[in-house]
Amino acid sequence: MEYRRLGSSGLKLSALSFGAWVTFANQLDRGQARALIAQAFEAGINFFDNAETYANGEAERIMGDVLADLRLPRDAWCVSSKVYFGAHDHPAPTQKGLSRKHVIEACEQALRRLRVEHLDLYYCHRPDPETPIAETVGAMDSLIRQGKVLYWGTSEWPAESIAEAARIAAERGWYAPTMEQPEYNLLHRDRVEVEYAPLYASLGLGTTTWSPLASGLLTGKYAAGIPADSRMATPGYEWLARRLASPEGQARLERARRFAALAAEIGAKPAQLAIAWCLRSPHVSSVILGAGRAEQLRENLGALALSAQLDAATWMRVEVAAA
Ligand SMILES: NC(=O)c1ccc[n+]([C@@H]2O[C@H](COP(=O)([O-])OP(=O)(O)OC[C@H]3O[C@@H](n4cnc5c(N)ncnc54)[C@H](OP(=O)(O)O)[C@@H]3O)[C@@H](O)[C@H]2O)c1
């Protein structure tokens, strides 16, 4: 495993990490989740990603039970939660968003579900246009001072809002955001490469990036339709299949097809090639993997070795194929 600093912080995360979205509770029970977390930790993964909204808190409950049951040393791994969407199908007005009330209460609830005394990383899962940014920054600062959160950050915030949060923190002597959690893969590049470009040096922003396989599209598995045992056929995620059927989705599918054909040409597994490509960016602190099976996780971990093997000309061909 390779370890990278989370932006300019001193925290070293594994370059590949492991997340719970869709899989935990929907596809994996405690026993299956336990086997995958054990496999990930054994491979050197030290960051496990979660959110209040994943299976309405059940994904955090499973992860917390598993981490406690495995008795891994608490100081050898990091766990996250994210606040914004709430942990209910129909959250009350005070059970969602980034108000001081919900940020603090959601943290308390995540601590209980994850069975930890602090969250290593705590994210604002989306921007909340109905809460002043200063209120959210203040709530995060309070949680850090109380020892309940170590590093706070954002997920899918516009660059100007991240910069504003950092400005407010600097003015008031509060803890500033350390990291962002954006989508980043061969089909979705601009935010990480263009929009956030000024923030890496000016704020020392780190990134933990999501959906390196674009929900599995970049494995090539959707080329001939939706396999019955895949994410897009999972109950509750029909919206992913609908999105794939749209004109934009079909264009993405075509790019994924070209990418998978090139992977075959250069003798690489598409999943490994797609993840290895994410690892190339110096602004990516950790690529969060998703996997519902041991074979998938094993294959995806192989991206680390592949990323060091290919030359610049090959990477150029990869980018052209997926463009
Ligand atoms: N902050 C945010 O807003 C946000 C949003 C999304 C995700 N995330 C985080 O990022 C993590 C990763 O995102 P993601 O799950 O979307 O990642 P992804 O790598 O794009 O998709 C993972 C899915 O692709 C399929 N897959 C994985 N490896 C495969 C392989 N080798 N061969 C064939 N199929 C394979 C599996 O689904 P099937 O086998 O079911 O098809 C797996 O669950 C999440 O768990 C979550 O922690 C954050």
Q: Could you tell me the residue ranges of all domains in the chain? A: 3-218+278-310
DSSP 80: E
Q: Is 54 an active-site residue?
A: yes
What is the dotted CATH code of the domain comprising 3-218+278-310? 3.20.20.100
Q: For ligand 1, atom 21, which residue shows the shortest CA distance?
A: 215
33 contacts 24 by C-beta, under 8 angstroms:
yes
Each residue of 9-27: pLDDT tens digit?
999 999 999 999 999 999 9
DSSP for 271-323?
A: HHHHHHHHHT-TT-SEEEE--SSHHHHHHHHTHHHHHTT--HHHHHHHHHHH-
Rounded-to-integer distance, Cα 233 and Cα 223, Å: 14
- 234 Cα nearest atom in ligand 1: 40
Element (H or E) spanning 234, and its range? Answer: none
Residues of the chain with pLDDT under 50: none
On average, the pLDDT of the chain sits at: 97
- 181 Cα nearest atom in ligand 1: 1
Kindly give the distance from the C-alpha atom of residue 237 to the centroid of ligand 1, in angstroms, as a whole number: 13
Q: For ligand 1, atom 26, which residue shows the shortest CA distance?
A: 216
Percent of the chain with pLDDT over 90: 99
- 182 Cα nearest atom in ligand 1: 1
Kindly give the distance from the C-alpha atom of residue 291 to the centroid of ligand 1, in angstroms, as a whole number: 6
3: burial class by Cβ within 10 Å (0-12, 13-18, 19+)? middle
Supply the pLDDT for residue 304: 97
Task: Kindly report whether the global pTM for this prediction surpasses the value 0.95.
Answer: yes
50 contacts 82 by C-beta, under 8 angstroms:
yes
